[in-house]
Amino acid sequence: MNYRFFITVLLLLLNNGVFAEGLYTQQLSNTLLTTEQIEDSKKKLAEHKELVLHEELKIASFHRRGQLKASLEHSSCTGCHLSPPHTKSERTRTFMNMHTQFIACETCHFRPKDKQLSYQWEDTRDGLVIKGKTKLFRQVTSADENSKTRATALHNFYKITPFYQKESVVLRKEGAFNQETQQIGEKGTQEEKVHRRALIHAPLEEKGPECSACHDEKNDFLDLASLGASTYQQDKIYNNMIAQFFARYKDKDSRIRIMSILQ
């Protein structure tokens, strides 16, 4: 019995060692919130409406959908945010949510201007770095390959994640900060909640990068080659028809004729 207890303690210690403090956590410790940030947080919490999620409807979808794999169960963000998280923008929400299958939240929303981040594949279950491989991409490797079979075989817990000085940036779900946040969410006062919300979001960008950040060869937000994409895959990602389609939007309310997608 003592032997088992010893091993458990050892594993816990080791676990803490593996999840060393990342840049996001460091920034949270050093952040001094402004009045503006606090007020904004107060407003957003007041406007927030709790959404009651429905169970699967008794009227099923007429068409068979794809596999509905859980995608963000290892992310600390889904402690408060829905999974899938993007709900507001009618235009982009489905595509943004599709990207959450293989891109960590912090990749798009944690982009400090004064730090140079690198990006690697990470197993979000245990935080281990995965060496870049062709097969980690949803993009097919040749015209003959079946894209559905490829997507079905992939696991959603491998995600492109930001790193700083070889350390993963993400805020760990099982980390002390997140545990504390959960407690505030459940038992904290409104003031504590406002403060914690402002603190978590202080280092983050509300909007992610434009599609062209990754889907245009001229931009170098992600180094697809070092992430393991083959030349064929890179070409397809850079010349993605839908990203080009989105680039034609002039303003957020505009609608584009679908025929133009084929142009």
Partner 1 sequence: MRHYFFLFFLLVLFNYDTNASPRYSDPDGCLSCHAYEGLNFIDENGVFRSATIDNEHYASSLHGSVPCKDCHREVIDYPHKVENTEVDCGASCHIEEPSEGVKYSHDVIHEEMDKSVHADGWYKGLTGGNRLEELETEQDPSCRRCHSNTAYIAETQLENFKEAFDHAETECGNCHQGKAWMGQFGGHILRRFIGRRWNNIENNQLCIQCHGDITAMREVEQEDKETLEKHPPSERFVQSSASYKKTLHGRLVDANSNFGASCIDCHAPEGWKHEIRAFSDEKSASHPDNLAESCGQSNCHAYTKKSGNQGFTMTDMHGLSLLGLTDIEKPLENKELWQSNWFLSVWPLMVFALVFAVASLRWWIFYRTDKKVTAVFGGDRFERIMVGRKPKKSRAKAKAKSAVKKEKVIAPVVEPEKTGDSDSVTPNQSDKPET
| Of 101, 102, 115, nearest in space to 22 by CA | 115
Q: Specify the residue, 80 or 184, whose C-beta has the smaller distance to partner 1.
A: 80
Measured CA distances, 130 to 104, 135, 228 (Å)? 14, 12, 10
Phi and psi at residue 103, to the nearest 5°: -130, 130
| Minimum distance of partner 1 from residue 93's CB (angstroms) | 5
| Minimum distance of partner 1 from residue 130's CB (angstroms) | 20
| Of 166, 159, 118, nearest in space to 136 by CA | 159
Q: Specify the residue, 13 or 259, whose C-beta has the smaller distance to partner 1.
A: 259
| Minimum distance of partner 1 from residue 66's CB (angstroms) | 4
| Minimum distance of partner 1 from residue 87's CB (angstroms) | 6
Q: Tokens 């460091």, residue?
A: 26
Q: Specify the residue, 63 or 187, whose C-beta has the smaller distance to partner 1.
A: 63
| Minimum distance of partner 1 from residue 84's CB (angstroms) | 5
Which residues of the chain form contacts with partner 1 (CB under 8 A)? 51-54, 56-69, 71, 82, 84, 86-87, 90-91, 93-95, 97-98, 100-101, 138, 147-148, 151-152, 241-242, 245, 255-259, 261-262
Q: Specify the residue, 4 or 63, whose C-beta has the smaller distance to partner 1.
A: 63
Q: Specify the residue, 88 or 187, whose C-beta has the smaller distance to partner 1.
A: 88
Residue by residue, DSSP assigns 160-216 as EEEEETTEE-S-BTTSHHHHHHHHHHHH--HHHHHHHHHHHHTTS-SS---THHHH-
Residue 102 contacts residue 158 (beta carbons within 8 Å): yes
